Amino acid sequence: MKPIFLRPKGALFTALLVMTFVISGAPTLFAGNADKGTTEHSIESTTAVEPTKWVYGLHPQGDLNIASPALADMNGNGTLDVVVATHDGRIIVVEGDSSGTVTTPIWEKDFSSAFGMSAGTQEFASSPAVADIDKDDLPEIVIGAGSSDPNKCTQGGVIVIEHNGDVKAGWPKFSNDFNGNGCKDTVYGTPALADLTGDGYLEIVVGGFDKRLNAWRYDGSSLPGFPVDSYLLARFGWANLENQLADTIWSSPALADLNADGHPEILVGTDEGNFDDTFPNGVGWVCPYAPPPGTTSGYCGGSLYGIDYTGNYVSGFPQYILEHIQSTPAIADVNGDGNLDIFVGTGTFYNLRSPDHPTNGFRLFGFDKNGNPLPGWEGGKATS
């Protein structure tokens, strides 16, 4: 493939998607940009910026679009279409093989009212996931809702949308209002879709700012064992660790069958740290930096959770480290031993907020399927 040259009108906050179309046979790139439009670029040259193939302008709004686009055949014509979500509560589906200035998408709808909000006031920071989750041979759109700005009041949760833009029966599912301020907590991560139970239907797995890791069936019912308890519940017995973790979840889950039992496991990074031995039933956890203002002394770090389809912890997990984990785990057999390995990067919460500005977060960690550090990856590898 030739190199990609992209010159959008504004800053790019979304991931880039590249796909070869059946009709043209040429790789095509998609992105959302800060001028509030969605652009598609053909890849033709190694030396020049390519002309825009099509552009569809979004409704004016005050915030950037940060949800990444998804590609799926939404109208059954055999070509991939572009699914985008906006910061004014809209989902838009544009014919992927369009050209020029697109004025009529396949469909565009504002889903703010589905969350009990006024038109144009919902936000989608989560990216859409698209798949046939209910075996009707038609794709559904699954996406988390709510603002990433803590100063904005939105009603967070997860919604499933049919291929034609109708809200699927049993949805949306609302998050908890953890702070009790009338604003349901945001679901920032992209939902992960897979058949966890082996019944042929795809389950929906996602975490949220309400500290919950949920797994739902296509009809909106929860899988038994979800939302999961914090691993720390066994240590402390605190009621507020039942059906939720001790901290928020930004990470998008990754699903993979680690133990080859036919049921994918759930790997997800969390902001849940551990407590040092000033708390009961100590485990030797040490916080080597000062707590950020307003946080609990003796509590720090983040964790990588591994959960099976029944809501139980995968052996060897969670793994606690000294920084939040807000990235999505990457899973592959990198050493050729026939077993899947897990890689995850850390966030910057403690670096930015602790008076000590620790650099524990500038690391990439590699684990085997049992939670052991891969050889040479003990303590992670520095990224800067």
The pLDDT score that the predictor gives to residue 97 is 87
- Rounded to the nearest 5 percent, the helix, strand and coil shares of the chain are 5, 30, 65
Calculate the alpha carbon distances from 309 to 220, 269, 295 in Å.
16, 17, 33
Cα separation, 131 vs 129, in Å, equals 7
> How far, rounded to the nearest angstrom, does the alpha carbon of residue 193 sit from its chain's CA centroid?
11
CB 131 within 8 A of CB 202: yes
The pLDDT score that the predictor gives to residue 59 is 73
Tens digits of pLDDT across the chain (384 residues): 444 334 444 443 444 454 443 334 444 445 554 444 444 432 222 334 567 788 888 776 645 578 899 999 999 999 999 999 999 999 999 998 888 888 899 999 999 999 999 999 999 999 999 999 999 999 999 999 999 998 999 999 999 999 999 999 999 999 999 989 999 999 999 999 999 999 999 999 999 999 999 999 999 999 999 999 999 999 999 999 999 999 999 999 999 999 999 999 999 999 999 999 999 999 999 999 999 999 999 999 999 999 999 999 999 999 999 999 999 999 999 999 999 999 999 999 999 999 999 999 999 999 999 999 999 999 999 987
Of 265, 273, 272, which Cα lies nearest the Cα of 369? 265
pTM check: above 0.85: yes
Cα separation, 81 vs 135, in Å, equals 20
Look at the alpha carbons of 55, 56, 57, 61 in this order and tell me if their dihedral is positive or negative.
negative
The pLDDT score that the predictor gives to residue 3 is 40
Look at the alpha carbons of 374, 378, 379, 380 in this order and tell me if their dihedral is positive or negative.
negative
The pLDDT score that the predictor gives to residue 384 is 72
- Give the phi and the psi of residue 78 in degrees, each rounded to 5: 90, 0
Look at the alpha carbons of 169, 210, 13, 57 in this order and tell me if their dihedral is positive or negative.
positive
Q: SS3 for 222?
A: strand
The pLDDT score that the predictor gives to residue 49 is 55
- Give the phi and the psi of residue 362 in degrees, each rounded to 5: -90, 60
Instruction: Please give the full DSSP string across 59-85, using - where no structure is assigned.
Output: PP-SS---SPPEEE-SSSSSS-EEEEE
Cα separation, 123 vs 145, in Å, equals 6
> How far, rounded to the nearest angstrom, does the alpha carbon of residue 287 sit from its chain's CA centroid?
28
